[in-house]
């Protein structure tokens, strides 16, 4: 029986995509590389996923798992002819009580909020939270604006039910030699998340917003360090440079920020006495770094400021139809240096560059504009991105703070890790997926001839000569 | 050349132990089981450790790693004829700046404080901190009194340099598929920690102590939950029951605690305004649960109270020459139930039982007295410990909160984990140590005939029939 007929038998005709619509699954939010999968299958239950995986195992069929397709590093582009298993339909809420909720991997981050008590909240909020799936968030250990105080997705995962490539189902809790911490951030290379139990935090008593405006990026960078030095742990600490502000002010996300070369948007939360004290200290820190501070005069203004920040990425369309978003993570003290570097690189390649990011944890998000219909322009954007990532590494940074390695940063793995380190990663991968049929040729640098390069851009990304 | 001569060539005669002194390495703090190793070697540098491991690999010599020997679960008892590699001499401080310090694995937890600025501190403080080594702390993910606010050792590990059983050296940072989180808590079964970079926290502005006294353990248990409910995150939240108090008051750790059936010892830290507010809320919570609260009237009284708590374990000698210390971790709301159960079990086996533990994170420490010279008494203590651990599991607990599985809790692994879970652990172990020569027969339940049982107690612990 053909593979198509067999998966149809498992999930029903309606949930197997073979025609033109497959192209919708040819790439995630990372745009430079599109590869149409031979087949897309959308199982509707854990049992169906298990049956599909067992079938693929018996036939040695390569496959990859897809959530909402918001990956910025290409982790769901099926470069090796993989069948795509989309988990969108596995979006059930199984259980919620107190500070925990158990959900399927396909549920959107935003929707968690609809199923929990009003006095608790789910902390991780990547920019894509309106659509991105919990399975994808876990697989990329996604961060977001709440990272400085509440940590990344890792800190909000209590336990996982996973399906391994051999067809066995495991309940992971991270104790002893249990591999839960490996699954978080493994970019879908070790197994399939069937169910996740997530930690909820009690909503803070109050939260207040403070905006700091600076005449140059150096002062803004210094203020980030100073705020921590005076003992404040902000719930959010977001940075926007002038190009980001201009973009926002020229789109529907218009926020009416004060005139500045760079701004910090700060959220403080906790009980009222504590927030009052953190407010006082933050203002002192901002003044010390030559900043001006502003408090919103109305609830409406506060909301507008945050919508502006959340709209900074889509606003980048003001400069360019497509953009790459880097996420090198550097020590907070290096922020001024790398910002200057990103502008210089933008000038070098004549590409628009803006910086808008989570300053609290040092995760940089330089945006580099390009036109994905123009081959040379696309290659230039990739080269610009690579120069910035290399520079971040020389400052003691890491290649990826939260978007993942995927295809985009494969070539930085051997720069950052030793060959022995990578060998250990391969052995771990092998111990879960001995035949490399699950999401191959991502995250771990492939050996020679192990992977096919599909076209010039992929070749460049893999550095296969 | 004999193994003894070869290791002597590597480390020098002075650092190879072959005589009677080997018995000092026959057991850790977990007393029921002693097995003398054939050989003990104490390398003095990373290079020597590497050479030894390569030698043992080539000869398939079984070995285990030992720090200070304070394990409470038997993780350094050489049951399978292993050579012991003691890392006590690898106690260098390589580097310290700001909020980080890099050290060798042999340094005692206490000594970290001598090498860092006076405005920072290393948070994890297991009861054994005066002698226990950082390598052992990391391998067991040790907790301590500061866990409620600062987390376990896991939260204080920035990066590790490890030596794998194949002789390769890796620098681990926990990103991507890097196995750093697996190493923390792996009880020395995956590789050898050569160097650790640890996170330091800024010292809180002030810290204050509050003592709460209760007429019964239920109220004390409820107060633990209530303190969190009112929004307080204590730096420490310690529980002592009447038997623990009596033991302390009858030894050199005498603290003059107020008359009570149970007390909570609470530390609050932060800036003065915040601590003031947490103090106020904690007092309300204690009163609500029928407790009386006390503040120390002098610095001397404060110190005495904490010395009393730290002396609670050694004070147990008041009842019994030896004791087992359990560390089942239960949901905070189940504390009253399991406390009652421990007393019932003590009565059943006619063994002294006391409870003194980190209430903040639900890690229970029932102490069960026994005489290690009396075989039947020893077996009874182990059986009592097992009944308590089983009961903790039925309450939603885990077998080990911080002491590790080692040999002691091997038989609880199949109760807590599925056979598939354990199979995954084995595969992970194999991917690092394919021949099972590093610290075999611990943590992961062995297959039939894979391990030798040395005597009745070991047989009972392994449930090998």
Mean pLDDT value of segment B54-80: 95
Q: What percent of chain B has pLDDT over 70?
A: 100
Q: Helix, strand or coil for residue B90?
A: coil
pLDDT of B233 above 80:
yes
Mean pLDDT value of segment A317-328: 90
Tens digits of residue pLDDT in B213-224: 999 999 999 999
Strand order through the sheet with A192-199: A93-97, A100-103, A192-199, A157-163, A169-172
| Domains along chain A with CATH numbers | 1-203+417-465 (3.30.465.10), 206-314 (3.30.70.3450), 319-413 (3.30.70.2740)
pLDDT of A465 above 70:
no
Which residue in the set B177, B231, B277 is minimally distant from A182, CB to CB?
B177
Kindly report the number of other CB atoms within 10 A of residue B332's CB atom: 16
Tens digits of residue pLDDT in B382-401: 999 999 999 999 998 888 88
Quick check: A164 contacting B, CB < 8 Å? yes
Within 8 A by CB and 6+ apart from A215, the residues are A260, A261, A290
Question: CA-to-CA distance for A283 and A298, rounded, in angstroms?
Answer: 19
φ, ψ of residue B305 in degrees (nearest 5): -60, -45
Q: Which of B358, B437, B445 is nearest to B402 (CA)?
A: B358
Q: Which chain B residue has its CA at the smallest distance from A430's CA?
A: B431
Question: What's the half-sphere exposure (Cβ side, CA atoms, 13 Å) at B124?
Answer: 25
Name the residue with higher pLDDT: B7 or A204. Answer: B7
- B423 to chain A: which residues are within 8 Å by CB? 168
Q: Which of A123, A356, A128, A395 is nearest to A257 (CA)?
A: A356
- Specify the residue for token string 């409406």: A300
Q: Which of B127, B95, B88 is nearest to B110 (CA)?
A: B127
Query: Tokens in use for A214?
Result: 């600076």
Q: Are strands A366-370 and A353-358 parallel, antiparallel or unpaired?
A: antiparallel
Q: Which of B399, B177, B228, B71 is nearest to A188 (CA)?
A: B177
pLDDT of A239 above 90:
yes
Q: What percent of chain A has pLDDT over 90?
A: 74
Say what the pLDDT of residue A196 is: 97
Kindly report the number of other CB atoms within 10 A of residue A449's CB atom: 7
Mean pLDDT value of segment A134-157: 93
What DSSP string runs through B320-371? -SEEEE---B--GGGHHHHHHHHHHHHHHHT--EEEEEEGGGTB--EEEEE-
Say what the pLDDT of residue A234 is: 93
Quick check: B430 contacting A, CB < 8 Å? yes
Query: Tokens in use for B435?
Result: 């021949």
Question: CA-to-CA distance for A275 and A266, rounded, in angstroms?
Answer: 12
Mean pLDDT value of segment A359-368: 86
pLDDT band at B328 (very low <50, low <70, confident <90, very high): confident
Compute the C-alpha angle A246/A249/A251, nearest 5°.
Answer: 110
Strand order through the sheet with A83-86: A16-17, A40-41, A83-86, A63-66
Quick check: B182 contacting A, CB < 8 Å? yes
Question: CA-to-CA distance for B302 and B308, rounded, in angstroms?
Answer: 10
CB burial class (10 A; 0-12, 13-18, 19+) of residue B406?
buried
Q: Helix, strand or coil for residue A250?
A: coil
Question: What's the half-sphere exposure (Cβ side, CA atoms, 13 Å) at B406?
Answer: 33
In B46-106, which ranges are E strands? 63-66, 83-86, 93-97, 100-103
Determine contact, residues A431/A182, Cβ cutoff 8 Å.
no
Name the residue with higher pLDDT: B27 or B296. Answer: B296
pLDDT of B132 above 70:
yes
Determine contact, residues B9/B24, Cβ cutoff 8 Å.
no
pLDDT band at B148 (very low <50, low <70, confident <90, very high): confident
Say what the pLDDT of residue A464 is: 53
Out of A39-53, A192-206, B450-464, which region has the weakest mean confidence (pLDDT)? B450-464
Say what the pLDDT of residue A227 is: 93
Mean pLDDT value of segment B328-335: 84
Please answer yes or no on whether A178 and B430 come within 8 Å at the CB atom: no
φ, ψ of residue B322 in degrees (nearest 5): -130, 165
Q: Is the CA virtual torsion B432, B438, B441, B442 positive or negative?
A: negative
Which residue in the set A170, A400, A423 is minimally distant from B424, CB to CB?
A170
- A181 to chain B: which residues are within 8 Å by CB? 174, 181-182
Q: CA of A308 to nearest chain B CA: how many angstroms apart?
A: 31
Quick check: A282 contacting B, CB < 8 Å? no
pLDDT band at A291 (very low <50, low <70, confident <90, very high): very high
Q: Helix, strand or coil for residue A157?
A: strand
Which residue in the set A164, A182, A432 is minimally distant from B182, CB to CB?
A182
Tens digits of residue pLDDT in B118-128: 888 999 999 88
- Specify the residue for token string 């090498």: B115
Determine contact, residues A56/A205, Cβ cutoff 8 Å.
no
Q: CA of A417 to nearest chain B CA: how many angstroms apart?
A: 8
Please answer yes or no on whether B177 and A429 come within 8 Å at the CB atom: yes
Determine contact, residues A107/A93, Cβ cutoff 8 Å.
yes
Mutate to test the interface with A, among B424, B431, B443, B444 (most CBs of A within 10 A): B424
Tens digits of residue pLDDT in B171-224: 998 888 889 999 999 999 999 999 999 999 888 889 999 999 999 999 999 999
Say what the pLDDT of residue A445 is: 92
Quick check: A171 contacting B, CB < 8 Å? yes
Say what the pLDDT of residue B464 is: 53
Determine contact, residues A402/A126, Cβ cutoff 8 Å.
yes
Tens digits of residue pLDDT in A407-424: 999 989 998 898 888 999
Please answer yes or no on whether B421 and A178 come within 8 Å at the CB atom: yes
H helix intervals, A114-258:
134-139, 147-150, 180-183, 217-229, 242-249
Question: CA-to-CA distance for A175 and B402, rounded, in angstroms?
Answer: 10
Task: List the end-to-end C-alpha distance of chain A, in Å, as a whole number.
Answer: 38
Query: Tokens in use for B280?
Result: 């106020």
Kindly report the number of other CB atoms within 10 A of residue B323's CB atom: 23
pLDDT of B247 above 90:
yes
Please answer yes or no on whether A175 and B398 come within 8 Å at the CB atom: yes
Say what the pLDDT of residue A360 is: 81
Mean pLDDT value of segment A255-261: 96
pLDDT band at A81 (very low <50, low <70, confident <90, very high): very high
Q: Which of A162, A105, A60 is nearest to A440 (CA)?
A: A60
Quick check: A398 contacting B, CB < 8 Å? yes
Q: Give the max Cα distance, chain A.
A: 72
pLDDT of B432 above 80:
yes
Q: How far is CA A96 from CA A102, A129, A153, A162, B222, in A?
A: 6, 20, 18, 19, 23
Say what the pLDDT of residue A439 is: 96
Within 8 A by CB and 6+ apart from B340, the residues are B217
Output helix, strand, coil percentages for chain A, rounded to the nearest 5: 40, 20, 40
In total, chain B counts a number of residues equal to 465
Mean pLDDT value of segment A175-191: 93
Question: CA-to-CA distance for B34 and B20, rounded, in angstroms?
Answer: 14
Question: CA-to-CA distance for A97 and A86, rounded, in angstroms?
Answer: 28
Tens digits of residue pLDDT in A420-453: 889 999 999 999 999 999 999 999 999 888 999 9
Q: What is the mean pLDDT of chain B?
A: 93
In total, chain A counts a number of residues equal to 465
Q: Helix A272-288 and helix A217-229: axis angle, to 10°? A: 140
């Amino acid at each position: 029986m053909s593979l198509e007929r067999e998966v149809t038998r498992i999930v029903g005709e309606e949930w197997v995509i073979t025609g033109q619509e497959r192209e919708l699954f040819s790439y995630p939010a990372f745009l430079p590389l599109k590869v149409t999968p031979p087949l897309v299958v959308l199982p509707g239950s854990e049992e169906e996923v298990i049956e599909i995986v067992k079938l693929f195992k018996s036939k040695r069929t390569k496959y990859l798992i897809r959530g909402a397709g918001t990956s910025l590093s290409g982790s769901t582009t099926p470069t090796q002819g993989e069948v795509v298993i989309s988990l969108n339909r596995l979006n059930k809420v199984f259980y919620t009580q107190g500070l925990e909720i158990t959900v399927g991997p396909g549920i959107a981050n935003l929707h968690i909020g609809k199923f929990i008590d009003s006095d608790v909240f789910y902390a991780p909020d990547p920019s894509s939270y309106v659509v991105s799936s919990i399975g994808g968030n876990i697989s990329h250990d996604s961060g977001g604006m709440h990272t400085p105080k509440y940590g990344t997705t890792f800190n909000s995962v209590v336990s996982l039910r996973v399906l391994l490539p051999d067809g066995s189902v495991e309940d992971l809790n991270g104790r002893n030699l249990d591999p839960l911490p490996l699954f978080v951030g493994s970019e879908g290379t070790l197994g399939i998340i069937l169910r996740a139990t997530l930690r909820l935090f009690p909503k803070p008593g109050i939260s207040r917003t403070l905006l700091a405006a600076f005449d140059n990026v150096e002062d803004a960078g210094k203020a980030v360090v100073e705020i921590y030095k005076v003992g404040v742990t902000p719930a959010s600490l977001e940075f926007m440079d002038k190009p980001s502000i201009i973009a926002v002010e020229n789109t529907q996300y218009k926020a009416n920020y004060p005139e500045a070369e760079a701004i910090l948007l700060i959220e403080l939360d906790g009980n009222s006495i504590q927030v009052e004290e953190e407010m006082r200290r933050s203002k002192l820190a901002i003044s010390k770094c030559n900043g001006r501070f502003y408090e919103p005069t109305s609830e409406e203004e506060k909301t507008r400021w945050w919508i502006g920040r959340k709209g900074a990425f889509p606003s980048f369309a003001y400069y360019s139809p497509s953009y790459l978003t880097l996420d090198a993570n550097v020590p907070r003290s290096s922020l001024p240096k790398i910002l200057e570097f990103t502008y210089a690189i933008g000038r070098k390649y004549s590409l628009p560059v803006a910086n808008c990011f989570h300053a609290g944890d040092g995760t940089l998000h330089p945006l580099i504009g390009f036109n994905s219909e123009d081959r040379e322009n696309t290659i230039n954007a990739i080269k610009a991105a690579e120069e910035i990532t290399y520079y971040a590494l020389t400052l003691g940074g890491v290649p990826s703070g939260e978007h993942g390695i995927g295809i985009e940063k494969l070539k930085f793995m051997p720069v950052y890790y030793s060959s022995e380190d990578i060998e250990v990663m391969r052995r771990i991968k092998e111990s879960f997926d001995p035949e490399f049929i699950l999401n191959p040729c991502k995250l771990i640098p492939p050996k020679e001839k192990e992977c096919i390069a599909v076209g010039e851009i992929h070749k460049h990304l893999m550095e296969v000569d």
